[in-house]
Amino acid sequence: MANQEPATSVGKEAKTTEVGSVFVSNYPPYSFWSAEADTTIQDVLDRAPAPDAQLGLYIHIPFCRKRCKFCYFRVFTDKNASEIERYLSAVEREAAMLADQPAVQGRRPKLVYFGGGTPSFISSKHLRQLTEGLRRRFDWSEVEEFAFECEPGTLTQQKLETIRDVGVTRLSLGVENFDDRILEENGRAHVTKEIYKVLPWIRALDFPQLNIDLIAGMVGETWETWRVSVAKAIEMSPDSVTVYQMELPYNTVYSKTILDGAPTPIANWETKREWHDYAFEQLAAAGYQISSAYTMVKSDRSAGFLYRDALWHGDDLISLGVSSFGHLSGVHYQNQAAWTPYLDAVEGGALPISRTYVTNDDERFTREWILQMKLGHLETAYFKKKFGQDPLERFATPLRDLEQKGLLKIADGVVTLSREGLLKVDLLLPNFYDERFQNARYT
């Protein structure tokens, strides 16, 4: 959840955090995806995949104890145990339908990602049932990463043991902040003592990777509270730390309040970037190194993020669950975003896909370019080999403009973002959009 301000050319950046700012997670923008083209995904599913295409699985677990005031994901806070069981059964049925398709049949996923919502909200029994059901449908023998998102207050020692036992390799703990007043104001369900309660259990179970998330710019944040949060994050000594800048997509509680006339409670972009930069400086001093615009990893530990890398390099991603997003053979798709339509489709024996976008070669090239810019380091030889185009020629104008602004440099076929460029990378990305996507609503 970083930022993309509503600007599409160098030098036209918003100062305040405006409603509509979002993290750039895909291309072309979601607002161009079409519900009328949902049959195209079946055409793709009916064909064999490219021989070198890697596969990942994303499973959306949409349940939470509370809805955060900055959250824009599809989540539910009112579902009982029987409703949760019904949903998870539907996810297994969806997996079975997809696993039998020619484009998927027999393929072994390289990664599995449980996102949310709050995957750790579901019970140990349900977690075991779900993972066992998915393993029956897909051969997990080549899975290299099983990533799992957690909210501290939903964890018990027994549940963590289950999470470890089902094979999770990357545990991502949604800390966000270490100040209880700020957590409460922003609608977080957990409090700080729950973070420290679960940490010894996590350490004892020896997860291969522990990541913690922080958000720069939560409502109520100050320089003093931010310094404390960064220091406490470093004291936890996780394998990686991911720092997001608070954004304001249209469907959050805060956004709706602002649209109704209230002043924005979110810090401005300059302040958020200063806080983000400070966190990176402190983490670097503590032995971490930059992995992307948002994440730093402990230098002496293996702390990659296969899901991120696969997503940013155009690999196939089968998505399961309500409102989830997938990508297969160049076609983007999203499942039904509401509870009843999703369940009705799956329980009726149909794939629950609601909208798609069929990309062309140029759009796939641009997509990988803008997403890999978030790594801060791009080798043009990769794009020449994969797409037969030279990014230095294709994007000559925006690259020249950004280089003149000191936001990146180009040398020996390598594009490297400066620290300033990295901190505002989502603002820079629309400079590389095709003209028809410029100035369009992202979602």
As a whole number, mean pLDDT of residues 404-419 equals: 98
The stretches of 206-260 forming alpha helices (DSSP H) are 223-236, 253-259
Alpha helices by DSSP H, 313-360: 339-347
Instruction: Clarify whether residues 190 and 259 are in a common domain.
Output: yes
Q: How does pLDDT run across 286-339, given as a tens digit for each residue?
A: 999 999 999 999 987 777 899 999 999 999 999 999 999 999 999 999 999 999
- Please tell me whether residues 173 and 99 are part of one structural domain: yes
Closest CA to 52 of 121, 110, 134, 117: 110
- Please indicate, yes or no, whether residues 281 and 162 belong to a single structural domain of this protein: yes
Cα torsion 343, 345, 351, 352 to 10°: value is -60
Burial 51-90 (b: 16+ CB within 10 A, else e): eeebbbbbbbbbbbeeebbbbbbbbbeebeeeebbebbbb
For 140-165, the pLDDT digits (tens) are 999 999 999 999 999 999 999 999 99
Range of the domain at 380: 361-432
pLDDT, tens only, 205-224: 999 999 999 999 999 999 99
- Tokens at 126, concatenated: 């349900």
pTM, full prediction: 0.94
CA–CA separation, 168 and 147 (whole Å): 6
Co-location of 303 and 407 in the same domain: no
Q: CATH number for the domain including 77? A: 3.80.30.20
pLDDT (0 to 100) of residue 442:
76
Report the CATH number that the domain containing residue 386 is assigned in CATH.
1.10.10.920
Residue at 42 is within a domain: yes
Instruction: Quote the DSSP letter at residue 243.
Output: E
pLDDT at residue 276 in the model: 98
The answer, yes or no, to whether residue 11 has pLDDT greater than 70, is: no
Whether 364 has a pLDDT exceeding 50, the answer reads yes
In a domain, 2, yes or no: no
- The answer to whether residue 425 sits within a structural domain is yes
Regarding whether 125 and 227 lie in a shared domain, the answer is: yes
pLDDT-derived band at 2, boundaries 50, 70, 90: very low
How confident is the model at residue 36, as a pLDDT?
A: 66
Co-location of 129 and 45 in the same domain: yes
Express each pLDDT in 367-382 by its tens digit.
999 999 999 999 999 9
Cβ neighbour number for residue 397 with a 10 Å cutoff:
10
Boundary (domain end) residue, out of 310, 343, 373: 310
Residue at which a domain ends, from 310, 343, 377: 310
Whole-angstrom Cα distance, residue 30 to residue 35? 11
Residues 297 and 376 in one domain: no
319 within a domain of the structure (yes/no) = no
Domain boundary among 292, 310, 328: 310
Asked if residue 254 and residue 402 are part of one domain, the reply reads no
Average pLDDT of the chain to the nearest whole number: 93
H or E element that contains 425: helix 425-428
Q: 315 versus 22: which is more confidently predicted? A: 315
- Quick: pLDDT tens for 40-67: 788 999 999 988 889 999 999 999 999 9
What is the helix (H) or strand (E) element at residue 310, kind and residue range? helix 306-312
pLDDT at 50: 85
Residues 374 and 284 in one domain: no
Mean local confidence (pLDDT), 174-190: 97
Question: Chain-centre distance of CA 322, in angstroms?
Answer: 16
Return the amino acid letter for 143: V
Q: Does 335 map to a domain?
A: no
CB distance 361 to 329 below 8 Å: no
How far, CA to CA in Å, does 435 sit from each of 125, 303, 383? 50, 38, 21
Q: Do 137 and 35 have their domain in common?
A: yes
In a domain, 317, yes or no: no
Average pLDDT over residues 92-108: 96
Q: In terms of domains, do 199 and 263 share one? A: yes
In the structure, what pLDDT confidence band is assigned to residue 34 with cuts at 50, 70 and 90?
A: confident
The answer on 367 and 277 residing in a single domain is no
Q: Average pLDDT, stretch 90-103? A: 97
- Our count of domains for the chain comes to 2
Secondary structure percentages of the chain, helix, strand, coil, to 5 = 40, 20, 40
Q: Is residue 424 part of a domain?
A: yes
> Does residue 136 lie within any of the structural domains?
yes
